[in-house]
Amino acid sequence: MAKAENNNLLGNIYAAIPLSFVCYLRCCLCIKGGEVDLTTLVQLIHEKVTNPPVERPDDLRDVFRLYDKEGRGYVSVAEMRHLLTSVGEKLTDDEAEELLRMSGCVHNSMVHYDS
């Protein structure tokens, strides 16, 4: 499969699966020189689906820390809402509001992730 076909295929995959999985596939493609046959691609997908990574609370905190440039232990609700509705598996505005409301982490218009 040529590089242009890989990019198009990954774009189609990206629309249907989480960003972390697309990044995993891209890394695998880079390791293999940017080209991979269909059998190998199916194998990579199968490995990821049958052996999903175990997420830990520290992993989630590390993601929040990327957006908390001052290291305060919180990010603004506005920034979090923007991220939830525009990055990765995009939520609707209503879904983002519901998630923030149900999280129990919002105090004084800030999402506290390190408490």
Percentage of the residues of the chain whose pLDDT score is greater than 90: 13
Task: Give the pLDDT confidence of 11-58 residue by residue, as tens digits.
Answer: 555 455 666 666 666 777 766 666 777 787 788 777 777 776 666 667
Question: What is 57-112's CATH number?
Answer: 1.10.238.10
Whether the Cβ atoms of residue 10 and residue 41 lie closer than 8 Å to each other: no
How far lies 28's CA from each of 2, 25, 43, 48, in Å? 15, 5, 11, 11
Q: pTM, whole model, 2 decimals?
A: 0.48
Q: DSSP for 44-72?
A: HHHHHHHSPPPP-HHHHHHHHHHH-TT--
Structure tokens at 101: 């409301």
List the chain domain ranges: 3-50, 57-112
Rounded to 5°, the CA angle 80-65-103 comes to 45
